[in-house]
Chains A and B, each alone.
Chain A
Amino acid sequence: SYELTQPPSVSVSPGQTARITCSADALPKQYAYWYQQKPGQAPVLVIYKDIERPSGIPERFSGSSSGTTVTLTISEVQAEDEADYYCQSADSSDTYVFGTGTKVTVL
């Protein structure tokens, strides 16, 4: 198995940009997916296949990938974006892993 490491927290002012990284400790790199989880709620998918955005997710959410690190970017952050964010990946043997999670605080 492998691990996905995220920064524990990111703080950002409204209207600014938040960037959350997710680093894998093993190759080969698989696709990454990102979830948003607000208190008391189930996670919601915000990015799939590294860079794709599901329907209904605001355009300010975007993803990128470089080497074994993927990044979730939230542009023009709004108060409602305050939440925990998790990356997730899978391997060819149908096993899955979640990242350590990042708490985004909107100042």
Chain B
Amino acid sequence: EVQLVQSGADVKKPGESLKISCKGSGYSFTSHRIAWVRQMPGKGLEWMGIINPGDSDTRYSPSFQGQVTISADRSANTAYLQWSSLKASDTAMYYCARRRGWRSGWQYFDYWGQGTQVTVSS
């Protein structure tokens, strides 16, 4: 059974750093890219970026470039999303999701993590 299991909720203060994780199981982790998606309270889904766990090639949305870092450890079947200096506006639910394939028509997200709630408050 394919599963993406994310790390638990976290509460941080502005300026602190944070790294959340997404562990894949039940499939070949290096065969599918992993994306990160933000959902701010009461708002829609925003694609943040995507990583190829096989070679760590990463693409970022222009909105998130330079604001976060996406990485992966293929030996641990885990992808990460990290911040070096959190802001209150980073308060949101963050989902990881597996991309089904690279060809046109298959570029959708077929499995999702349960989400990680990040709260940034002084």
Q: A101: which B residues are within 8 A, CB to CB? A: 44-45
How many of chain A's residues touch chain B, expressed as a range?
20 to 34
- Which of B13-21, B79-87, B105-113 faces chain A? B105-113
Select which of A43, A84, A95, A100 is within 8 A of B112 by beta carbon. Answer: A43
B75 is an interface residue with CB less than 8 A from chain A: no
Other than the known A31-B104, A94-B59, what 6 A-B pairs have Cβ atoms closer than 8 Å?
A45-B109, A86-B45, A92-B104, A95-B47, A96-B35, A98-B37
**A interface residues (Cβ-Cβ under 8 A, vs B):** 1, 30-31, 33, 35, 37, 42-45, 48-49, 54, 84, 86, 88-90, 92-101
**B interface residues (Cβ-Cβ under 8 A, vs A):** 33, 35, 37, 44-47, 50, 59, 61-62, 95, 97, 100, 102, 104-110, 112-115
